Structure 1
Amino acid sequence: MKCLFIAAALALVSLPTFAGEAQTFAFGEPAPASKATRTVNVVLKDIAFEPGNLEVKAGETVRFVLVNEGKLPHEFNLGDKAMHAEHQKEMVAMQGKLFTGGMNHEGMDHGQMMNNSQAMDHGGGHGHAGGNTVLVMPGQRGELTWTFRKSAPIEFACNVPGHYQAGMVGALTIE
C-alpha cells in the first residue's frame, strides 16, 4: 500500500503545469525568497514536524526551508483548521482519482501543479491555491516564503490523507 501511495504522489507532481495566481489570506500572502527577513528550517518526518510549533511576528517575511527526512511524501500547508479540513477533502478526492486510473481535470478547479520543491496550486480559495502549500517528496527539499500580516489562529500541517489526523500538525503563532 505504501508503494502505491508513493506512486500516486509521484504521478500527482508529474502532471502538467497550469497557470494560477497566488492569493492573499487574512494572515498574509506568499512572498519572494529575496524579501525574507528570517529563515526557519523545518524537518518533515513521517508523521511529525521538527520543530512542532512556530512563532513569527506580524509584518515579518519568513522563508521556510523544508526537508523531508521521512519515507512518505509530506506537505507543509499554512492555514486555519477550516482551511485544512477543506484541503484534506480535496487531497482525498485527488488520491481516489489517481488510484482509479488517472486524473480527470473536469469538475476540479486546478491551477498550477509544480515539482516537489515548489508550491502546488489546485485553484480555489484555500489549500494549494494561494501558494500556501509545498509538497515535498522523501529525501527532497522545498521552500515556502510567506509574509505574515496579522495575528490569526493558524496551523502548519500535512494534509496528505491521514497525516493530519495522525498528528502531523503544529501551531503557528503570529505575534
Structure 2
Amino acid sequence: MFFGKSWVLAGCLLALSSPLLAAPAQSYAFGEPAPAAKATRTVEIVMGDMSFDPKALQIKAGETVRFVLINKGQLLHEFNLGDVAMHSQHQAEMLKMQQNGQLTPTAMKAPAMDHAAMGHGSMAGMDHGAMQHDDPNSVLVEPGKTAELTWTFKQAGNLEFACNIPGHYQAGMVGKLTVSQ
C-alpha cells in the first residue's frame, strides 16, 4: 500500500511539473521575439521619468530590431510593445503586482510563494499569489540600468511602445511605432 501511494504521489508531481501542461507560449500577430544576432537594426531608446526618446519609430514589416533601453530616470520603467488594448490589459496586471507589493517605484521584487493563497496545490487563489513579469514583448529596466529586447515585426500596422507601470502611460510614457510594408 505504501508503494502504491508513493507512485500516485510521484505521478501527480510529474504531471504538475510537466511542460506539456504548461500554458502555451503567447503569440502576437504583429511579431515575435528574436535573438539579438538576427537584428538588422539597433535602436537606442532613452527612458526618462515619464518619457521616451525618441517618441516615435518607423519599422518595416519583416525587420528584426534590437532595442537598447537605457533608463536615465529615477524610477523603474517598462518597455512594452503592443496595441492600445494590449497595454490596457497589461496595465491592470501591473496594478495587481503593485497592490500585492511585488512592484515598487524602483524595482520588481522576486515573487514569493504564498502556499495558503494557492489553496494547497489547487489552482484556486493563484492570482492572489506570486505574479510574474515574463511577457516576451516586454522588459523592465531599473533606474540607471540598460536592458535589451529584440523583436521581428511580421506585419504592417500601428503599435505603441509604452511603460505600463501604474500611472506612467497616463503621464505620457508612450510612443508611436509604425510598421510599414
CA distance in 2, matches of 1:111, 1:148: 31
Matches within 5 A, 1:131-142: 131-142=136-147
Matches within 5 A, 1:59-78: 59-78=62-81
CA distance in 2, matches of 1:83, 1:111: 21
Identity of aligned residues (%): 57
Which residue of the partner structure matches residue 98 of structure 1?
101
1:143 correspondence with 2:148: yes
> 4+ residue runs of structure 1 moved beyond 2 angstroms?
19-24, 102-113
CA distance in 1, matches of 2:37, 2:131: 22
Q: Greater Rg, structure 1 or structure 2?
A: 2
Which residue of the partner structure matches residue 3 of structure 2?
none
CA distance in 1, matches of 2:70, 2:157: 26
Select the residue among 29, 33, 37 that pairs with 1:34: 37
> Residues 36 and 63 of structure 1 are in contact (CA less than 8 Å); yes or no, is this contact kept in structure 2?
yes
Select the residue among 123, 126, 134 that pairs with 1:107: 126
1:172 correspondence with 2:177: yes
Which ranges in structure 1 are unaligned for 5 or more consecutive residues?
A: 1-18, 114-119, 122-127
Instruction: Report the alpha carbon displacement of residue 153 of structure 1 after superposing the two structures with TM.
Output: 2.0
1:52-93 residue CA offsets vs partner (Å, 9 max, x unmatched): 001100000000000000000000000000000000000001
Which residue of the partner structure matches residue 156 of structure 1?
161
RMSD: 2.4
CA distance in 1, matches of 2:128, 2:154: 27
Q: Secondary structure at the match of 1:95?
A: helix
CA distance in 1, matches of 2:156, 2:31: 10
Q: Secondary structure at the match of 2:101?
A: helix
TM normalised by structure 2 equals: 0.71
Query: What letter is aligned with 1:142?
Result: A
> Residues 88 and 161 of structure 1 are in contact (CA less than 8 Å); yes or no, is this contact kept in structure 2?
yes
Matches within 5 A, 1:79-94: 79-94=82-97
Which residue of the partner structure matches residue 47 of structure 1?
50
CA distance in 2, matches of 1:55, 1:152: 11
Instruction: Report the alpha carbon displacement of residue 23 of structure 1 after superposing the two structures with TM.
Output: 2.8
* Length, aligned pairs only: 141
CA distance in 1, matches of 2:74, 2:82: 24
> Residues 97 and 131 of structure 2 are in contact (CA less than 8 Å); yes or no, is this contact kept in structure 1?
no
Alignment CA distance shift 1:143-1:111 (3 Å): farther
TM normalised by structure 1 equals: 0.74
CA distance in 2, matches of 1:71, 1:20: 35
